[in-house]
Structure 1
Amino acid sequence: MRSVRARAAIGATLVVAVALVAAGLAVLSVLRTNLIDQADLQAEVAAREVAGQLALDTAYADLDLDDEEDHPVQVTDEEGRVVFVSKGLRAISGTGSTGVSPVPSASAGATPSPGDDDDDDDDGGGSGRPERGEVSSDDPDFSDGTATVDGKQADYRFAAVEATTPAGLTLTVHAGAPLAAEQEAVNTVRGAMLTGLPLLLAVVAGVTWLVTRRALRPVEGIRREMAAITASEDLARRVPEPGSRDEIAALARTTNETLTVLEASVERQRRFVADASHELRSPIASLRTQLEVAEAHPELLDLPGAVADTVRLQVLAADLLLLARLDAGEKPGAARLEAGALVREEVSQRTGDRIPVTVEVAEDAAYEVNGSRGQLARVIGNLLDNAQRHAEDRVTVEVAADGSGVRVEVRDDGAGVPEDERERIFERFVRLDDARSRDDGGAGLGLAIARDVAARHGGTLTVHRAPEGGAAFRLWLPRAA
């Protein structure tokens, strides 16, 4: 099941089905409980009515029973023998005794049954019996059972109430209330639920399918456009953005932003490859020409020029390799470095500079940073190379604290960088002075490498106007923890 629409429809249907089944069972349970409570009340009323008549010494034959078919009655004595049943009762269960044929009470020989007249009363002697008995005030016992009245068997709810006759005889009255209404109501509700549940689930599934289909229609448009972009390799195309403000619109916007970044990255890579090929072609062609001339005319070999071209080719290859590693996401090291010592060490190794470099670092201060010694030394070296190319008489390197970090500033007294070009010079293969020779100007990768390395160390590299009038390149790095 790979379709999101199908999974959403089935999931919603299952959730609704579980909720409806649980709600239906709860409704049936409550309905059944209420109906049984009503049946209990009817059975209790009927039982207490008969018990009250027995407590008033009413004879069995004179008991006034209302609706004997709906409320069958069975009376048992203390020994559980049936002493009275309502008219038409042919079978009964659930009352503790299944008898429906009255028998004489075990106490009848010693105590007259309810309704019997004592001759001594007429003579005025009196029997000493109370004029009335009593009905138990305790809650009756309820039970489920069946009864056959006039040949019709049905389910009943029986209530058992005790009554004491004036003669002291304890009788138990079982009176029933029919459960036919409860069963019919429960069956009706259950049938309605069983009929309506599939229809309702079908409606839920259909509506969910349609709503999901409508909601996912923009996703299908995005998918088709992405497939077309993949097939055509045209990164200038964009996926359609729906006018809504939901997650799908956000997905479309994010996809287009990703395509924009990807297009820029691919274009940057293309320019990089083209520029790198162009830069590599010059020293390679020059070196090949010199070697071919030397092969034909050894006396014309320009050995210093060949060495210079080889060195230039080596430096360019190293720059390209470092840029490739940076683009691949190479993380800098986490060594603890002292920025002042790193600057002094880098300056001390530059013996061929045409202008001496002045280092300004406080002797008693420690400017510690975390990072790669090789990469940070490369940044300082590139900034010094750039200053040496443009300086007139002075190059200065200053190391100082700057907020929560360390600032390394390289200044020269050259022409400086025009304000509108201060960001472009950090692009790869960019050289502002197109008139100067390639040998003097380099390949235009030094500043790009320096900014990339600074950013990967959590710092920044910017250019400003120096007090001397030239350019001031400020490398800011966070202090070591």
Structure 2
Amino acid sequence: MRRRAGAVLRRLARDPRVAALGERLALHSVRTRTTIAACVGVTLVLLAASATVLLLLRVNLERTVETGAREQAQAVARLAGEGHLPPLLPLDHGTDFIQVTDASGIVLASSQNLAGRPALTPTDTEDGHDSYDVLALGDEHHQRVATLTAPTPTGPATIRVGASLRTADTAEDLTAAALAAMSGILLLTVGVLTWRATGRALRPVEAIRTEVAEISDRDLARRVPVPRSDDEIAQLARTMNAMLERLEASGARQRRFIADASHELRSPLAVLRTQLEVALTHPDVEVRHELVSGALQDTGRLQDIAADLLLLARLDAGTDRPNQPVDLAEIVMTAEARSSRVHPVELDIASRISVDGDPRWLGRLLTNLLDNAQRHARHKVTVRLRQDASTGEAVLDVVNDGPPIAVADRERIFERFTRLDDARSRDEGGTGLGLSIARDIAAIHGGSLTVPDSPEGTTFRTRLPASPPTGEAAGPAR
């Protein structure tokens, strides 16, 4: 029998439905803790309310009993004062006894149940009321005794009227039982409703958790369910989906970047290997020299690609915004002096503008833009530096008079390894990473890099937050 019971318990423990129920009933569960908190709160409120009701009921009932006893004592006092006090006094409804004594303690009159008995004496005091030993009346219950002293023709007399609290005790007991029953029902109702409401509210959260737990790094296209209710949980679901979209887009960019990088590296590596293999076996010294020179050029191109990839990796890793004061006019003049001289560069520097940043990275940004402009310009390249009067930003324009870029391609050119004219860019030494690096540098400095409409050809506009000026106006434009 014990073995069978143990087997049944083990099967129940392995049942997923039982396990799920156990998780919901666990004390660390939000549903359980919320239900317990609601029940405890309601219990405290009910206890306080019930105690208040019982206290008020008791006070009102005792006050009513005492008022009735005092009224009957006053009626007996009037009879005693008029000298019409009979030896036996009738009892009103709710009155247990009446006893009238003179100053020496002799009983002058009493109710029928105290006839022939000596004067009552108090035994102790409870709650400000005298307690009398009236067990001889045959029924033990709470009483309130009204004591009154009244003048009579023969001298002062003390009148004691005992009123029963049996009705008050019964009403208090019934009320306490009713409050206990109602409190139990209310507490059970609150617990059930809280449990069900919390479960219903947390059901979408559980659905979101289950879906997220099943999403792997290769299945980022899945989305969590969004509840129909426009509440905080729906906002959480939409936020989770937005995060999954960003992760999916980031994963897609990384895969595309790896594929493009592999492709970009494979081509020069294949050419380099071919050149070296031919140079190794070719008998002509001049041909071998020419092949080795080409291999050196391809090696340099590989070094450029590796350096750009390393810089992009550093930019992608994230870094604090540089805060070194940098004179943009000085950066422009230095970059112009170092750039290639395929086409002349015209500088238009309105004033010296200082920004917070890294001079090496800002120099790399301008160098990349100048190299790109030199490759695509027809006759000249123009660099303009000014400060936007409305926003206070530093605006750096690099303009080439070559063919304009189509509106549809103005964002695509900033993607990595993107070339609108692939063959010409390869021949002229472009890696397809310069514009992407320039935009990332601008973003790290809190700025932007865009291609606005321009009648002069193609303009690359960099906007950077300007700091207070560091010098006087620059000399005349060159």
Pairwise same-fold verdict (TM > 0.5): yes
Q: 2:205 aligns with which of 209, 212, 219?
A: 219
1:452 equivalent to 2:477? Answer: no
**In structure 2, what is the Cα distance between the partners aligned to 1:358 and 1:142?**
110
Deviation by residue 1:317-368 (Cα, 9 ceiling, x = unmatched) = 2222222222222222111222212212222233x43223222113xx3412
* Conserved? CA contact 2:82–2:152, under 8 Å: yes
**In structure 1, what is the Cα distance between the partners aligned to 2:59 and 2:174?**
16
Distance 1:47 1:464, change over 3 A: same
Deviation by residue 1:450-478 (Cα, 9 ceiling, x = unmatched) = 2222223221211124443x111110111
1:249 equivalent to 2:249? Answer: no
Equivalent position of 1:16 in the other structure: 42
Could you say what secondary structure the match of 1:152 adopts? coil
Distance 1:395 1:67, change over 3 A: same
Equivalent position of 2:375 in the other structure: 389
* Conserved? CA contact 1:89–1:147, under 8 Å: no
Distance 1:69 1:308, change over 3 A: closer
**In structure 1, what is the Cα distance between the partners aligned to 2:105 and 2:444?**
98
- Superposition pairs of residues 4-83 of structure 1, within 5 angstroms: 4-59=30-85, 61-62=86-87, 64-67=89-92, 70-75=95-100
1:258 equivalent to 2:243? Answer: yes
Equivalent position of 1:410 in the other structure: 398
Percent of matched pairs sharing the same residue = 46
- Superposition pairs of residues 73-112 of structure 1, within 5 angstroms: 73-75=98-100, 85-89=110-114, 97-98=122-123
* Conserved? CA contact 1:28–1:190, under 8 Å: yes
Deviation by residue 1:240-288 (Cα, 9 ceiling, x = unmatched) = 3332323333332222222222111111110011111111222333334
Give the C-alpha shift of residue 397 in structure 1: 0.9
Equivalent position of 1:331 in the other structure: 320
Q: 1:183 aligns with which of 147, 169, 177?
A: 169
Could you say what secondary structure the match of 1:20 adopts? helix
Equivalent position of 2:255 in the other structure: 270
**In structure 2, what is the Cα distance between the partners aligned to 1:144 and 1:198?**
37
* Amino acid across the alignment from 1:463: V
**In structure 2, what is the Cα distance between the partners aligned to 1:234 and 1:443?**
32
Distance 1:145 1:335, change over 3 A: farther
**In structure 1, what is the Cα distance between the partners aligned to 2:325 and 2:437?**
21
**In structure 2, what is the Cα distance between the partners aligned to 1:10 and 1:215?**
16
1:373 equivalent to 2:347? Answer: no
CA-based RMSD of the aligned residues comes to 3.0
Q: 2:149 aligns with which of 157, 162, 166?
A: 162
Equivalent position of 1:103 in the other structure: none
TM-score between the two structures when normalised by the length of structure 2? 0.80
* Conserved? CA contact 1:382–1:450, under 8 Å: yes
Q: 2:188 aligns with which of 185, 202, 212?
A: 202
Equivalent position of 1:129 in the other structure: none
How many residues of Structure 1 are paired with residues of Structure 2 in the alignment? 431
**In structure 1, what is the Cα distance between the partners aligned to 2:31 and 2:239?**
23
Larger radius of gyration: 1
Equivalent position of 2:423 in the other structure: 435
Give the C-alpha shift of residue 185 in structure 1: 1.0
Could you say what secondary structure the match of 2:122 adopts? coil
Give the C-alpha shift of residue 412 in structure 1: 0.9
- Deviating more after overlay: 304-313 vs 423-432: 304-313
1:314 equivalent to 2:340? Answer: no
Could you say what secondary structure the match of 1:242 adopts? coil
Distance 1:311 1:46, change over 3 A: farther
* Conserved? CA contact 2:449–2:462, under 8 Å: yes
Structure 2 residue runs of 5 or longer lacking an equivalent are 1-25, 469-478
Structure 1 residue runs of 5 or longer lacking an equivalent are 100-140
- Hey, which of these two has a bigger chunk of helix by percent? 2
Could you say what secondary structure the match of 1:154 adopts? coil
Equivalent position of 1:287 in the other structure: 272
* Conserved? CA contact 1:146–1:155, under 8 Å: no
* Conserved? CA contact 1:70–1:176, under 8 Å: yes
* Conserved? CA contact 2:122–2:133, under 8 Å: no
Equivalent position of 1:128 in the other structure: none
Equivalent position of 1:138 in the other structure: none
Give the C-alpha shift of residue 70 in structure 1: 1.8
**In structure 2, what is the Cα distance between the partners aligned to 1:474 and 1:177?**
101
**In structure 2, what is the Cα distance between the partners aligned to 1:247 and 1:150?**
71
- Deviating more after overlay: 266-275 vs 197-206: 197-206
Give the C-alpha shift of residue 187 in structure 1: 0.8
Give the C-alpha shift of residue 78 in structure 1: 6.1
**In structure 2, what is the Cα distance between the partners aligned to 1:477 and 1:353?**
27
